[in-house]
Chains A and B, each alone.
Chain A
């Protein structure tokens, strides 16, 4: 029972962290895609959507190719004594990668619904682009951003394929999804069932909140 509570808190904590991590990048990307035209824009859109479309295990394989000690990023980090695979860092990375496309989609839609005239009027009144973004665009798009963040959070909570590849199934990195899989494979059906209920409850709560925000 203690194990179950620990897994649940760990997963929610990591999903929260992952959502906070992708928020700045996701919002920036969403704004750029909503407002700017530039060569390679379609490529950027496709790259961001990739984790949404690829099977999570494939994303996991890509991640370990980059973050493993033999990968470009992983080798560099290993030189500095930082290990990513099989640690909570790996969990956050996998969750972030999976949450990003959902956040960007929702946030972009939020920005696109902001009437450009407000931004233009603010500019004519002397506000610089940063001020316009912070005081006009961001507040007006906040419902889309929040809904995107909650959607990304829910996705992060349920993430399995990439997580188990990059973080493994160790007592210190087991998320709810990975634990359900491991418990099922080791004949601990009761624990798996309990975690299933916990997981559904958390996800249900998060999605309900997300829908409430998107609807009003």
Chain B
């Protein structure tokens, strides 16, 4: 019995070594730290960029604040794509960002969602005051970008006073979505891109882009990037027409003006 256990361990050690036998030269690889909400379109685009140019692109996913903390500790990353300007500013303040390369890559739209079996199919924001919306889930405004934007919008429409007491802060937007799906809350405020992938909720209100907060996903090359040339090339690629199509298919809004 021990022999079987030990042989599984040895096989695992050997199996674990397989991904380690890669070319390690700096010229043909790139590391991108990207907000996890961008993973679907970004991994597609990273793969096609890799096919076209031969540059190996490694995408490190995470919450924007975790990514920023890693960068501040000196993580060797070439490109940083954050889910809001706040985290990008943290890294800029540490003089780790080449601000000449910074662009607003994509934008998003806030939507109100309710569980699919909810009685209403549409609503207007002021309806949140109603007692039937006793609990409202959103990303924690203390740190989650989507929560920060949601709070900003609610403040601008004078609803924050009411919602603040009823708010259920979630660790991430997807967590907020999950809470709405299982019916633990009466409504939630998430991104359109998140609502798309869920079948357990329905969108009852879309915050018009002009009225909502300016949602920004800034992208920039790091000053200490091991491969800044390829990073700039990738950043340009992510602003091209193929990238626009992929981002829009995932539900993101692509700015018309390119810097």
Contact = CB atoms under 8 A, between A and B. Distances in A.
B134 interface: no
B12 A9 contact: yes
Contacts of B36: 169, 182, 185-186
Contacts of A168: 33, 60-62, 70, 75
A164 B61 CA distance: 10
B69 A13 contact: no
A74 interface: yes
Interface string B1-32: 00001001101111111111010000000010
Interface in B52-76: 58-62, 66, 69-70, 72-76
A142 to B, nearest CB: 13
A24 interface: no
A74 B60 contact: no
Contacts of A10: 12, 15-16, 19
Interface class of chain B by DSSP: helix
A85 B66 contact: no
Contacts of B20: 88, 172
Contacts of A165: 66, 69-70
10 contacts: A12-B9, A13-B16, A65-B73, A67-B73, A69-B224, A70-B72, A70-B74, A168-B60, A171-B59, A172-B58
Given A13-B13, A16-B12, 13 more contacts: A16-B9, A61-B69, A64-B73, A64-B75, A69-B74, A69-B75, A70-B72, A85-B73, A86-B75, A88-B16, A168-B62, A169-B60, A170-B58
Q: Which 7 A-B pairs have the closest CB atoms?
A: A13-B16, A68-B73, A69-B74, A9-B15, A70-B74, A12-B12, A64-B73
Interface of B: 5, 8-9, 11-20, 22, 31, 33, 36-37, 39-40, 58-62, 66, 69-70, 72-77, 172, 174, 197-198, 224
